[in-house]
Amino acid sequence: MRLLAALLGAILILVTASPADAAPSGRTVRLARTVGVDIAVPATANLGAGFVGGSLTAQLGAVEVRDSRGSVNPNTWVATVSATAFVAGAGGPQRTIANGRVSYWSGQAVRSTGGGTLVPGQSTSAQAVSLGTAREAFRKTAGNGNNAVVWVPTIRIAIPADIVAGTYRGAIIHSVA
């Protein structure tokens, strides 16, 4: 399988002891492009804050795969997603949220153009998957011609009860092949 495009977003989350300590958070994006198929997400997102021992659920913003390979038949693709651990400061056991504690669901397509069959990886929160390993986010299973699909994925981070409050940084990585 060859990598057609990759997206790396550094996600910031704040883990606090009280709501008064909460501050906005966001992410930065680096986008690698390959002719014919592109994947993109917005440059920023506010993930909010969560409490030690609780969970944080937030949408990442619109993710779009655009396939302009035209008459290639079939021009199918699979978008995958993975995550790094989320770390505060220098890390360590009480300053790390393992990527297995990060759950993801793609939801349905919010917009699509062109032909083909588009299949979400996880339609609802009940189908959320752990990002302890790479997972399928969305797929085009049939058709040819130029096409595009947009979805707005949601992540849930289960915050351990034994970590130190602080700002945690990690990455949610999307790619398409």
pLDDT digits (tens, 9 = 90+) for 8-46: 334 445 544 323 333 333 443 444 444 688 899 766 666
121: alpha, beta or left, given left = phi > 0 and alpha = psi -120 to 50?
alpha
Q: For the chain, how long is the longest CA-to-CA vector? A: 56
Average confidence (pLDDT) over 57-78:
88
pLDDT of residue 1: 32
pLDDT of residue 43: 67
Give the tens place of pLDDT for each residue, 114-170: 878 999 999 999 999 999 999 999 999 988 888 999 999 999 999 999 999 998 988
Those residues with Cβ within 8 angstroms of residue 163's Cβ, 6 or more apart along the chain or in another chain = 15, 52, 88, 94, 95, 96, 97
Of 81 and 29, the one with more pLDDT: 81
pLDDT of residue 88: 93
How far are the Cα atoms of 73, 116, 127, 137 from residue 145, in angstroms, in the given order?
Answer: 8, 8, 30, 21
Side-chain half-sphere exposure of 18, counting CA atoms within 13 A:
2
Instruction: Give the angle subtended at the CA of 37 by the CAs of 4 and 140, to the nearest 5°.
Output: 95
pLDDT of residue 95: 96
Prediction pTM value: 0.79
Average confidence (pLDDT) over 99-117:
94
